[in-house]
Amino acid sequence: MAATWTEAQRGQKCSKPMRTDELDFDLPPELITQMPPENRSASRLLHYIGASKAIHHRTFSDLPSLLRPSDILVFNDSKVIPARFMLKKSTGGQIEGLFLSEPTIGQWLVLLRDIGQPRTGTILQFDSDPALSVTILAGHGQGEFLIQISESVRAIEVLNRIGRMPLPPYIKRQKQTDERDSLDRARYQTVYADSPGAIAAPTAGLHFTPELLRQLDDAGIARVMITLHVGAGTFKPISVENLADHPMHTERFSITSTAAEMLNLAKAQNRRIVAVGTTSARVLESHPADQAFIATQSQTKIFIHPPYRWNHIGALITNFHLPRSTLIALVAAMTGLDEQRRIYAQAIAQRYRFFSYGDAMFIDGSN
């Protein structure tokens, strides 16, 4: 059924603004996972039961046995595109680029690093395809530029040819060879990814395998697909003192009519909605509590942090997140800040693997 935890159970008695440093913690650097596990579903799973505040240490392949037959899982089917690329100056210097969006065919909005202050009209070449050039059209500040591509084709066609996977900054690659990039193209992607457009993976879904999905089907556990294209803002640290002052980034999402119908039926039947990842949670919680779901293509900048009353979500599957991030704030909004700290302390003590290629947790709101 929908989330029914009381404020006391969540530990969300907040009479004053929450400070950002309350989301800080010390993480041993060796727990930041650099490579994916050999088997996706062999990742560890920390099972937190909200009603009893019990913590159990399991394996992700145990998930079907932890769910109820009446549960409905909401997945984000966004597909990561090879959005990283390298440009070359006329002097031979290199510039790292990250594709953000395509306002129109042939024009890209990008982030460029180590470019300085280029003049409008500056021409650069792609490092891996010198015949393909870009022209700087405008600068928008903070490294963001509008560029014109010399080929008038869709961005995905160019990126599939010359791009690399946009791994998070905490995953270090000494040299991203074709072989290594092939691995990341396969593993920094969910097995059900279907809608290209993300520049970061919905990482909670990385643990699912085709076999695990079949087990969910055999158990009668329903699956719903929504789409939210993760943007660069997901890695932006919170720099303000008070959490509520953080300017939340905007991300595009869509809900199909089929997904809307399944969600409305689940709500009518008081079935528990389990969000697979913070992205799925943000999409659902962006919808008004008193309105039926409808087919939607929109944007969200919802910032979920304590105190928060959940409107649609009853449980959450998620990875372990960065300190002082909007993602760990969302986790704290579901468990309560004190419990989030206790959970993470146990995860560190038990040597769980952190971040995108790391282990997972199942916040089970079964009360």
pLDDT, tens only, 211-244: 999 999 999 999 999 999 998 777 777 889 999 8
Count CB neighbours of 288 within 10 A. 9
Distance, in Å, from the CA atom of 367 to the CA atom of 79, rounded to the nearest integer, reads 34
Q: Do 84-163 and 7-80+187-364 fall under one CATH topology? A: no
φ and ψ of 90, to 5 deg: -65, -25
**pLDDT value for 178:** 64
Burial status of residue 233 (CB atoms within 10 A of its CB: 0-12, 13-18, 19 or more): middle
**Average pLDDT across the chain, whole number:** 91
Percent of the chain at pLDDT > 70 equals 93
| The CATH number of domain 84-163, selected from 1.10.10.10, 3.40.50.300, 2.40.10.240, 2.40.40.20 | 2.40.10.240
Give the pLDDT confidence of 79-137 residue by residue, as tens digits: 999 999 999 988 888 999 999 999 999 999 999 988 888 889 999 999 888 889 999 99
CATH code that applies to domain 7-80+187-364:
3.40.1780.10
Predicted TM-score (pTM) of the model is 0.91
**pLDDT value for 192:** 98
Query: Which distant-in-sequence residues (6+ apart) come within 8 Å of 358 by Cβ?
Result: 31, 32, 33, 43, 319, 320, 352
Give the pLDDT confidence of 16-39 residue by residue, as tens digits: 679 999 999 999 999 999 999 999
Give the pLDDT confidence of 307-348 residue by residue, as tens digits: 999 999 999 999 999 999 999 999 999 999 999 999 999 999
- Within 13 A of 196's CA, how many CA atoms are on the CB side? 14
Count CB neighbours of 61 within 10 A. 18
**pLDDT value for 175:** 62
Cβ pair 118, 129 in contact under 8 A: no
- Which residues on adjacent β-strands are paired with residue 225? 75
In the chain, domain spans: 7-80+187-364, 84-163
Confidence of residue 366 (pLDDT cuts 50, 70, 90): low
